[in-house]
Chains A and B, each alone.
Chain A
Amino acid sequence: MRSRLTIALTGALIVGCGGKAVHVSKPWTPLAGVAAMTAEYRQFIDYGRTPSRVLDFVEKRSSRFRVVDVHAATGMRARPGDRLLFVDRNRTAVFVVVGKQPLVTGGAHVLGAHIDTPSPRLAPQPVDETAQTTLKAFRYGGMRTHHWVHVPLALVGRVARASGGTVDVEIGLHDDFALYIADTHKGLRVTVSSTPTAERLDGVPPQTLTALLHARYGLTPADLQAAELYLVPKHGAREVGIDRQLIGAHGQDDRVNSYAAWRAVIDVAGTPQVTAITWLVDREEVGSAHAVGGRSRFLELVYAWLIRAQGTRVTEAALDRALARSVALSADTPAAVNPNWAQVHELKNAPFLGRGPALFPFTGHGGKGGGSQARAGLVEAVVEAFASAHVPLQFGELGRVDEGGGGSIAKYLSHRGMDVVDIGVSVVGMHSPMELSAKADIWSAYRGFRQWLQQ
């Protein structure tokens, strides 16, 4: 047990010290078991603090996949067994294992998961110019303000520099200081320094965030106007419970299922009958819109590329046919029963941590509004796939009727004519800086997803 932990910690350290580049990359090896998976998952969570960092991680660890530029005129070939990776704007990625059947006639087995998560994000003009001691932030997604007060925070994200190029920023994550929100009466105000920001008479330069951003990354306040900077808890993933069966971390909704779906597709053995696809998307927590969200036609672009690469003319009809023959699992995070607030769940139909991934035949609220409902035949097919891999599966719903509700990317996948059902690893305390998941569930989801893709 201890040696395993040491490995995990060392890994995190390398990841932390080395910035984004080489240290994250690791040649593909199959997963040895739950322990190895947990260690890798913790690195994934600790490094993948933002969507773009998640993509860095998965790109650098998918060595069997050929990165494809959809705009390039050459190299348009997709033979059965090819492993292809399509990335858009460094925020969304489609992993494809080309099946024996052509896409148009066979469709694909798709896994969709999102890599964004609710947390505070910096406003476009974050620096308070008079004092420079606080930054202004807003809420990204359904985060709960009280979870972010009195917590050591780090600033992580990407900036598009005025002079060109992008810079990955990381402040406080591996430093001996952190950032902090003391109260929220005047909105989300993040304390970044507290000493005078004016130049001293004796020439000692002030220690401000602006100065640090310039010293470390050569950034100016004007550069921050084009930035995507998230505030994340300084603490990383922890094992929870004396028996170490649970993982507690920020961002597990939906990075836990993104991890399982990514790991499933890179571990697909041989050449599947039907093309296997994992699609990792951004911006789910704010409505799935955007060029990199679940509603983006990027998936169609990839489909079109594949159809052409398989030697077929891409027509609207061919694309629609390929989509209509595809079957998708929306791998999003269900809410498991919270032992302190059991009243919001209907216990017969609520998922429990540790009993396997939870399948939601329907989502939405107020009569399933704004959600999606799966066809009985599809539900049965998923149940069979998981059973054939000897993976536990439970059914669930999101809380009691009319207690609240939520949705996933399922409906957006279904808008394309795909058959979709929601299924995923559940967590307790969703959208908090310390969501709880069960290691056993992650392992089960990984094996179930892989089985689904390989069928």
Chain B
Amino acid sequence: MQIAVAFGVTYPGIIHYGSPVMWRCALGFLCCLTIGPAVALAQTHPPAKAKPAAAKTPSLPAKARRGWNQVSPAQRKRINAFARRYMGYLADAKTPRRAVRGLLRVFEPGAHRLTGKAVGRTPGSRYWFVDAGGDAAAFVRLGQRPLSAGVRIVIASVDAPRIDLKQQPIYAHLGFTMLDTELYGHLDLKSWLSRPLALYVHARAAGKTIDFSVGERPGDPVLVIPDLLPHLSRKAQRKKIVDKAERMDAVAARKRGALVRFLRRHGVSRGLLQAAETSLVPAGKPSFIGVDRALIAGYAQSHNALAYAAVRAMVDAPKTAIPYRTAIVIAISKRHTGYTGKTGLAFVKTAMSRIIGAFGTEGVNTDMLGVRRIYARSAALLAAHRGGKANSGLVLNPRGDDALPGAIRRVLNTLSAARAQYQIVSTPAWSRARELSTLDMDVMDVGLPITGEGTPMELLSTLDLYQARLGFYAWLMNK
């Protein structure tokens, strides 16, 4: 009863992890899980008298074979090559807008932009479209079967924790020109101190787009949020290194005029700055970690890695290998506001409507019943960060997404068939997959084991990254 209520109120609204509704539901749910089976067992098993039948006792699932020991030298080379190309993408995926642009660069060659006009429906052809805002996109590859057979989807949110500027950010303070900041997402604040940061500005003025960054090229100046020295930090930072987020303002220049002139040179007046999207992100490129180059340190990896792997899975498929069902990758970008907004989870439905309008059997005239049937026969994987161990493959969390056994089995079988390594974790966090599946789709969480989420340099294993590519390929291509 309580669970039904929870589903009823959550989509398309938001449920906060701390909300009483959620916890009540979660508790109720847990009770069902723990007490239910116990009661059932007590009632149905008669006292054991006769010897059990000769049938072999089923054993626990064999311990999964995971990690680098399962990787052949040839596959190791493929993993490394894939990682290098991914790092090229990641270097420029510092904001959602740039990430979408980067995915498009991967997908675009040989693909068509989906416009309002009529399109061909040749199985195997690829289409894409980007939301007008530029921070969400859908990538489509038509399958052998019509849409009415359902589709296979991968959804990933490409935004990452970052430091945004306030609307009136520039102020002079104690000999510096500072930029006043606020936070976007959950940051490990102390790890953002005393390291080089780049500034990204995106604005629109008089119908023109202004989009630039400073700090990324080796000759660029950078911005820094300076930490306190240990000599004077004993009292001020005794309880917490960063006691309030208002301390996260960045040193932007010595002279205020220099900063104002710089912005104006790029077409950003003070008025325009108020309306602009302005972010501070870690400056510089990702780097391999370790002499074996088997780990990647970089900013904004946790969902970007999944988005990239999914798009690459689509692009890497040879022309002759046509997916059984239509394959769709949707990049959204408002994970850290709770998936709200036009390009949050809402974009999934927007994109699906557009795709059904273009490729559905009756095009835009596909009736409600037809549309509902497509959803009912579709299944999606939703990128999520749910812990897991490095070098142990993709992370699945059935406890979080509460998918139905059949849906879980389908994903497990797909991954196994593709020899993609995976691990199952049990994280209580309530997944957005539950909300998304109210579209009447099967939706499951899939994640990568990332170390240091919310820090400027997250760590990801190249082995795990490649499992996403293997897994998504099978998910999007196979029956």
Contacts and interface: CB of A to CB of B under 8 A. Distances in A.
A34 B68 CA distance: 52
B176 interface: yes
Nearest to A333: B229
Contact of A432 (B194, B222, B289): B194
Interface stretch (B36-44, B129-137, B271-279, B448-456): B448-456
Contact of B258 (A200, A204, A243): A243
Contacts of B254: 241, 243, 245-246, 353-354, 438
B49 interface: no
A192 B259 contact: no
B228 A212 contact: no
A354 B254 CA distance: 9
Given A146-B191, A151-B195, A177 B287 contact: yes
Contacts, number: 238
B68 A195 contact: yes
Which of B224, B232, B253 is packed against the most chain A CB atoms within 10 Å? B232
A390 to B, nearest CB: 21
A399 interface: yes
A5 B219 CA distance: 6
Contact of B214 (A242, A340, A406): A242
A180 B226 contact: no
Given A180-B459, A192-B291, A196-B69, A343 B218 contact: no
Contact of A405 (B222, B225, B231, B247): B231
B87 to A, nearest CB: 10
A239 interface: yes
B226 A340 contact: yes
Nearest to B293: A177
Interface in B276-292: 283-284, 287-292
Nearest to B69: A196
B443 interface: no
Interface residues of A, number: 80
Nearest to B390: A194
Interface stretch (B146-154, B233-241, B364-372, B419-427): B233-241
Give the interface residue-count category, chain B. Answer: 35 or more
A77 to B, nearest CB: 45
A68 interface: no
A interface majority secondary structure: loop
B461 interface: yes
A152 B289 contact: yes
Interface stretch (A319-327, A378-386, A414-422, A423-431): A423-431
B313 interface: no
Nearest to A197: B292
A234 interface: yes
Contacts of A208: 291-292
Contacts of B327: none
Nearest to B177: A241
Contacts of B451: 182-183
Contact of B231 (A2, A152, A183, A399): A399
Interface string B146-187: 000000000000000000000000000111111000000000
Given A144-B227, A399-B232, A339 B222 contact: no
Given A150-B191, A192-B290, A404-B233, A337 B221 contact: no
B295 interface: yes
Contacts of B390: 194
B235 A429 contact: no
B305 interface: no
A354 B295 CA distance: 41
Contacts of A430: 229-231
Contacts of A90: none
Contacts of B233: 144, 344, 404
A242 B194 contact: no
A151 B457 contact: yes
Contact of A340 (B177, B188, B249, B291): B249
Contact of A235 (B232, B251, B284, B297): B284
B69 A238 contact: no
25 contacts: A142-B230, A142-B231, A146-B191, A150-B188, A150-B456, A152-B289, A152-B457, A176-B293, A180-B289, A194-B290, A196-B68, A239-B222, A242-B214, A337-B174, A339-B174, A339-B175, A339-B176, A339-B251, A341-B236, A342-B174, A353-B176, A430-B229, A432-B193, A434-B224, A436-B226
4 smallest beta-carbon distances between A and B, as pairs: A243-B258, A432-B194, A430-B229, A207-B292
